[in-house]
Amino acid sequence: MDTVGKQILFHSPQEDIFKQAMQQLPQLSNLHVSNAEWIPDIYQYDIMFFYVEDPITTYRTHFKQTSTVKWFDKSIVLVTNTDRMEESISLLNFPAIKGVVSVTYLEANMSTIMKELENGSFILDSGLYSQVSTFLMKQYKRREPISRFELDYTRVPVRMSQSERDILQLLLDGKDTTTIAKMLYLNTTTVNSYISKLIKRCEAKDRTDLVVSLIRKGWVNSVK
């Protein structure tokens, strides 16, 4: 998403909650701030940062009841306190939600977040990787009962050795480093080295993000 010409809204019932984050952005006429309980013209904004103390109530108030808005054309980043982030994961099925972050993460990464939104990336606070992985697994299981995910090597646009393939599959199976080392007759240092290289080559942030990426990119098959 190119943010040039896009209308950007920062919404929070608390004054100055976005002040530090917005200081990282140029002073543009397309930046808007609101603390209104209800936003009647929400349809005009393309990118929205919502500070939410109660994620579910915010969803029902601003998004669910506004059925005329073409949400697929919007990008909404939920910003909340660290202790409420996990609750926000339940809203990831809503098409316009493009990220869930804490206030501190937003303040530290505002410029990067805007660039990632331009590239169509999903914005996720580093403290949520594990929870989102679990959430995605549950969503897949709910749609179609499965026993496991199998890596489909033909879909992966990255060359891999047999050992790397085996390690990726065991990560999908939820195995830890020690278990993988025992099953493949390798030492843990070698396994960690393989995993670090795979994380880098697959452009993931860590091993949890690596597993999530494999699922979201469609590089796995679900097996009943």
Compute the mean pLDDT over every residue in the chain, rounded to the nearest whole number. Answer: 79
pLDDT over 50 (residue 15): yes
pLDDT over 70 (residue 49): yes
SS3 87: helix
Q: State the Cα–Cα distance between residues 142 and 62, nearest whole angstrom.
A: 27
Residue 165, domain member (yes or no): yes
Q: Are residues 102 and 155 in the same domain?
A: no
SS3 37: coil
Q: Are residues 12 and 115 in the same domain?
A: yes
Residue 189, domain member (yes or no): yes
Which of 73, 104, 124 terminates a domain? The answer is: 124
In this prediction, residue 203 has a pLDDT band, given cuts at 50, 70 and 90, of confident
Residue 213, domain member (yes or no): yes
In this prediction, residue 179 has a pLDDT band, given cuts at 50, 70 and 90, of very high
Q: Which range (59-68, 171-180, 187-196) has the least confidence?
A: 59-68
Higher pLDDT, residue 198 or 63: 198
pLDDT over 90 (residue 82): no
SS3 205: coil
pLDDT over 60 (residue 152): yes
What is the pLDDT, as a whole number, of residue 219?
Answer: 82
In this prediction, residue 223 has a pLDDT band, given cuts at 50, 70 and 90, of low
Give the bridge partners for 103, in sequence order: none
Q: Are residues 68 and 163 in the same domain?
A: no
Q: Are residues 118 and 18 in the same domain?
A: yes
User: How many domains does the chain fold into?
Assistant: 2
- Model confidence pLDDT, tens digit, residues 139-149: 555 555 545 78
Tokens representing residue 110 in the block: 């505002």
Residue closest to 28 by CA, chosen among 10, 11, 5: 5
pLDDT over 80 (residue 4): no
Containing structural domain, residue 22: 8-124
Which of 124, 153, 176 terminates a domain? The answer is: 124
What is the pLDDT, as a whole number, of residue 1?
Answer: 47
- Model confidence pLDDT, tens digit, residues 112-142: 888 888 877 778 787 776 666 666 666 555 5
* Dihedral angle, C-alpha 54, 61, 35, 112, nearest 10 °: 70
